[in-house]
Chains A and B, each alone.
Chain A
Amino acid sequence: MLSSIPYTELRELARKDDCIQYELFFGPNFPGMHGNFGYILDVAGSTILRVRPNPGLLHRGFEKLMEQKLWFQNLSLIPRICVVDPDPNEVAYCGAIEKILGAEIPERAKFIRTITLEMSRMTSLLMGMGALGGMMGLYTVMYRMMDDREGLLSLFEWLTGARIYHIYNLPGGVRRDIPDGWTEKLEDVLKQLESNIVEWDRLMFENPVVQKRLSGIGPLTQEQAVNWGIGGPSLRATGFKADTRKDDPYAAYPYLDFEVPAVGGGDALARAVQVREEYILAISLIRQALKKLPEGPFKLDTGNPLKFIVPKGDAYNRVESSKGEYAYHVVSNGDLKPYRVSVRGPSLPGGLALCHEHLPGMLIDDVAIWMASLAICPPDFDR
């Protein structure tokens, strides 16, 4: 057995309450599940005894597909790996290619990438907070946050041409320049989003029911989080100050001035508060980047995309997303097509490995909240 509570002890707990043991399919057809993914739970009463993850329902074969297409053609596949937060994927892939080429993208492209990354982070955090609220039954939060997301998605539509799958980053820069009037509209949207934070506080973060509900679920210490490979807001919620934007900087983060928030606590409540802090940080980062946005070209000249080759080599490029640490390991053989692209999704340690540690002993009511607080999203480990 892989959990820390022995199975026999759990059985004893269950038998004390005189419950029958049964097998429960938590997902894939369940409103409390994010995406197509399932846990097959052995439950006694309401207590989970054993868990078997059932992944693979969203397996689209990306890694094999990417070996069969040109470098530029892969750009239309890559955002589809994560629905909620597609920009870190594009930046990670393009950044890995730029590392192998040894190329440095223009300054304006770096700042535009930073702005779109932070905007995408905000949309994902809104969806994450909303999902957390929804899992508890507080659907008002979910609907209101989706409404806030609309402003950001419309801005993306104006800049890139599509709301969710932007396909905006290229190896060497970005695809188009910022249109006129976009930065002013961004400021308006940010002002409006900032003024809504007061409402979220009243609805969710200062709500005593929510606080009681969330505390104690999925406790993690710092050493545990590092050992299990959890990253992103969930890691910082344990008090460990580590952020790829500071430790391994990319895009325009070296030029921006910010402090990484780290709320201590380690349980679901701390993770929820951490998300709020990150949201406020993202707004301030966007404002800084807008002020410092330089003039100049927005992409390098990479030539004919049908004849674009990357020299032999490999690179590992990591990017901080709203769920954790995204990384791409790109191997090139000097060819027109990649030799191997391996995608590291941030939900794999949480969804497939940590579940054996946390879920046994938990009540089935809390499983959805546990998943939402750790930001487990199946598309990025199913690929």
Chain B
Amino acid sequence: MTRNALVERIEAETGIESRPRYSNQIEASVPRERIISFLSFLKTIGFEHLSNITAIDWIQDSTMEVVYNVWSYSERIHITVKSPVPRGNPVSFTCMGLWPQGRVYEQELHEMFGISFQGNPTQGPLFLHNWKDIPPLRKDFDTEEYSRRAYGYLEEEQ
């Protein structure tokens, strides 16, 4: 299927408007409640490979965006699905049932951004050990201030 045909089919069956971009990619923005049904629909039309789940902290707009990057081996088209999540209450839904490695990506996002995914049992720490501060990849986390507070290194430098 060509890229335009895919765009039309997605629009027809889910109502989500997607935009083609670059030479072989599609971009779509999906509200939080419909993200899992959208992803499972994508899996049925040939997008089998979940490449990455990441998140972006738009602190000016008070939202965080969870971004799913999915690739289709059969169609050779890539789709980037963005789903915004309010910053004050960052809760979304797990895609573990569709792709098993999603569990690990969501665990990492929970640790680094504070987004919790309902249905995912492992929401504990993954990379950081004994972390007691705010999730570090958020934009209001200041690395220099943390270093000064935790290690006091600047006092020792001559």
Contact = CB atoms under 8 A, between A and B. Distances in A.
B51 A247 contact: no
B69 A329 contact: yes
Contacts of A280: none
A327 interface: yes
B143 interface: yes
A200 interface: no
A357 B22 CA distance: 37
A56 B101 contact: no
Interface residues of B, number: 33
A376 to B, nearest CB: 13
B104 interface: yes
A56 B129 contact: yes
A228 B137 contact: no
Interface residues of A, number: 37
A377 B136 CA distance: 24
A248 interface: yes
A339 interface: yes
B99 A227 contact: yes
A226 B76 contact: no
Interface stretch (A108-116, A154-162, A261-269, A342-350): A342-350
A248 B76 contact: yes
Interface of B: 22, 24-25, 48-52, 54, 56-57, 67, 69, 71, 73, 76, 78, 80, 99-101, 103-105, 112, 126-129, 136-137, 141, 143
Interface of A: 2, 55-56, 59, 61, 63-64, 68, 99, 226-229, 231, 240, 242, 247-248, 314-316, 318, 325, 327, 329, 331, 339-340, 342, 344, 348-349, 352-354, 357, 382
16 contacts: A64-B136, A64-B143, A226-B49, A227-B100, A316-B69, A316-B80, A329-B69, A339-B56, A342-B52, A342-B54, A342-B67, A344-B51, A348-B104, A349-B104, A352-B101, A382-B127
